[in-house]
Amino acid sequence: MMTRLIFAGYGGQGVILAGKLLAVAAMKSGKCVSHIPSYGVEMRGGTANCSVVVADEEIPSPLVFSPDIVCIFNEPSLIKFGPIVRKGGLLFFNTSLIDAEPNVPGVTCIPVPANTLAEEAGSYQTANMVMVGALVARVPELASLSALIAALPSTVSARKKDLLQLNEKALKSGFDLIQAPVSR
């Protein structure tokens, strides 16, 4: 198994942290991983994305040109990264900031109201955790929910430690969204 992912949004949405958390949880679960962050010109409000590769064997290249999965947090990132998802891939998109369902032929689009669920969990700052929770619920071979929760303390920065419980709650919220029977 080798899965190539891209997390994308604007600076301040926590897309780099989302990718890092997945990478750390997968690594602690015995997987081979790579994580490459990419920031736009401005840190907060500019573009941000990261590439993550999770595999059962050594990773030949950490570069992700045609991802198997993308987690998109805003409309500009959807425009940039939606078209490069490989056929048969998954596109998780934040319905709180993206109004229309993406039209990407051959790709399964998974709606996640990340901001809405984050606010319900206690803080809009945890939308990234909602998305990661939804991701591992749909693709459990990447990492387990318990591995994500265990990786939180070593992944979250010291200045955000006060959000650990909210991050855990948001992870569970995203996970439960996908695990619950859906009537759409």
Extended beta strands in the chain, E state: 2-10, 32-39, 47-55, 69-72, 90-94, 108-112
- Give the tokens for residue 82: 């939606």
Domains of the chain listed by start with CATH number: 2-179 (3.40.920.10)
Query: What is residue 184's predicted lDDT score, i.e. its pLDDT?
Result: 36
Q: Mean of the pLDDT values across residues 5-9?
A: 96
What is the per-residue pLDDT for 163? 81
Residue 58, exposed/middle/buried by CB under 10 A (0-12, 13-18, 19+)? exposed
* Phi/psi at 164 (5° precision): -55, -45
At residue 76, the pLDDT reads 92
How many of the other CB atoms lie within 10 Å of CB of 164?
13
Residue with tokens 């998954």: 90
Nearest to 110 by CA among 84, 142, 136: 136
How many whole angstroms separate alpha carbon 179 and alpha carbon 97?
22
pLDDT-derived band at 11 (thresholds 50, 70, 90) equals: confident
SS3 category, 178: helix
pLDDT tens readout for residues 157-178: 777 777 889 999 999 999 999 9
Residue 183's pLDDT is 42
* pTM above threshold 0.75: yes
